[in-house]
Amino acid sequence: MRGRKSGDWKTNPVNPVEVDGATYLVSPRGNSHWVRNLRAAGEGELRVGRRRRSFTAEEIQDAEKLPILKVYLDKWAWEVGAFFDLEKDPSDEQIQGAAPEHPVFRITPE
């Protein structure tokens, strides 16, 4: 993912996840630099190989994160699970408890 703030592009690896036809970015490391930059810019660019996709971003409220985080953890826990500080096979309540520490953005292609 690339995000632009004040004309300066930053590149960060991300793991997009699709839930109910929408695409989301989850920050396993919390309020990281890319999260702060995306909040400020409201837009970014996903790059996979030569393919580029510009997007706008909307941050998701904590109460709405559970289904997204469940799918994200099912798919990516092997890579990012340590950043969530959760037991193996966490309950919905445990995942919801971790939600405030992990920003989530719905991205919409431009």
How sure is the predictor about 98, in pLDDT bands with cuts at 50, 70 and 90? very high
pLDDT of residue 79: 76
For the chain, the distance separating the N- and C-terminal CA atoms, rounded to the nearest angstrom, is 15
Q: Which amino acid is at 61?
A: Q
How sure is the predictor about 107, in pLDDT bands with cuts at 50, 70 and 90? very high
Most confident residue range from 10-14, 15-19, 86-90 = 15-19
CATH number of the domain enclosing 18 = 2.30.110.10
Q: Are 42 and 3 in contact (CB under 8 A)?
A: no
Domain encompassing residue 29: 2-109
Neighbours of 92 (CB within 10 A): 11
Q: Which of 84, 88, 85 is nearest to 69 (CA)?
A: 84
How sure is the predictor about 88, in pLDDT bands with cuts at 50, 70 and 90? confident
pLDDT tens-digit map of 25-65:
999 999 999 999 999 999 999 988 889 999 999 999 999 99
Q: How many domains does the chain have?
A: 1
Name 33's Cβ contacts closer than 8 Å, sequence gap at least 6.
10, 12
Please tell me what DSSP assigns to residue 96: H
Gap between the Cα atoms of 98 and 104, Å rounded: 12
Task: Report the chain's mean pLDDT, rounded to a whole number.
Answer: 89
pLDDT of residue 87: 81
Q: Are 35 and 102 in contact (CB under 8 A)?
A: no
